[in-house]
């Protein structure tokens, strides 16, 4: 539960087959940089289609053609998770003090949340993801975005972050992109540090 000293809420969104616990270490890495922050790292709303962990939507049989529809279908359950966290921590009237931090599928959902205009939060950090939202996009243009991606990612090519940045910038959003040489589908210490600095600056 939030206290009177809590002035920012960071919600961390994991990838497919993972869980909230896998992103929780970021809270320790950012504890000093983001003083006064509440960190919440929920599990996705449904068990993963592949083995252990959770997911925001199924990627079984996913294609370029059906991905947007799956994101649309995942919005109600995603919104329910986020709304509960925001309300529980006392940020319902303070979305400008809320940040989404996603990895992989978590980034897809975080970008969709702002690109659709549903969640005009204070900041979004997306690691190793893509923008795959159904059209039309009606973004919360005041939300700054940082996209971090390794150019050796075999799961989601780093070009997806470059494309996402271009699409969001064309809609009036402020987007910064960091492409890390040789990095696979993961979050590096350098990327985490850059994200922490970004959040500290935006949510100061």
**How many angstroms separate the CA atoms of 125 and 196, rounded?**
9
Does residue 104 carry a catalytic annotation? yes
Q: Which of 19, 43, 185, 197 is catalytic?
A: 185
3-12, 143-152, 168-177, 194-203: which has the minimum mean pLDDT?
A: 3-12
Q: Which of 104, 128, 133, 161 is catalytic?
A: 104
111, 93 contact by CB (below 8 A): no
Q: Which of 41, 153, 158, 161 is catalytic?
A: 153
Proportion of the chain above pLDDT 70, given as a percent: 98
**How many angstroms separate the CA atoms of 172 and 115, rounded?**
11
**How many angstroms separate the CA atoms of 99 and 143, rounded?**
9
pLDDT at 121: 98
Q: Mean pLDDT, the chain, as a whole number?
A: 95
Band the pLDDT of 5: cuts 50, 70, 90.
low
pLDDT at residue 3 above 70? no
In sequence order, the β-bridge partners of residue 88 are none
pLDDT digits 0-9 by tens, 160-204 = 999 999 999 999 999 999 999 999 999 999 999 999 999 999 998
Question: All domains of the chain, ordered by start, with CATH?
Answer: 8-202 (3.40.50.1820)
pLDDT at residue 150 above 50? yes
pLDDT digits 0-9 by tens, 73-96 = 999 999 999 999 999 999 999 999
Does residue 153 carry a catalytic annotation? yes
């Amino acid at each position: 539960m939030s206290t009177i000293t809590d002035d920012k809420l960071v919600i961390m969104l994991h990838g497919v087959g993972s869980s909230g616990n896998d992103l929780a270490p970021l809270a320790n890495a950012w504890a000093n940089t983001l003083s006064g922050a509440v960190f919440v790292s929920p599990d996705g709303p449904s068990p993963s289609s592949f083995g252990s962990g959770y997911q925001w939507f199924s990627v079984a049989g996913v294609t370029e053609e059906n991905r947007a529809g799956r994101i649309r279908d995942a919005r109600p359950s995603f919104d329910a998770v986020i709304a509960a966290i925001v309300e529980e921590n006392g940020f319902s009237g303070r979305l400008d003090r809320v940040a989404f931090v996603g990895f992989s599928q978590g980034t897809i959902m975080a970008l969709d949340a702002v690109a659709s205009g549903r969640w005009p939060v204070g900041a979004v950090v997306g690691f190793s993801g893509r923008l795959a939202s159904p059209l039309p996009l009606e973004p919360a243009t005041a939300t700054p975005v940082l996209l971090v991606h390794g150019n050796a990612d075999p799961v989601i090519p780093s070009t997806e972050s470059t494309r996402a940045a271009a699409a969001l910038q064309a809609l009036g959003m402020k987007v910064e992109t960091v492409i890390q040489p040789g990095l696979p589908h993961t979050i590096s210490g350098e990327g985490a540090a850059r994200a922490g600095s970004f959040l500290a600056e935006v949510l100061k």
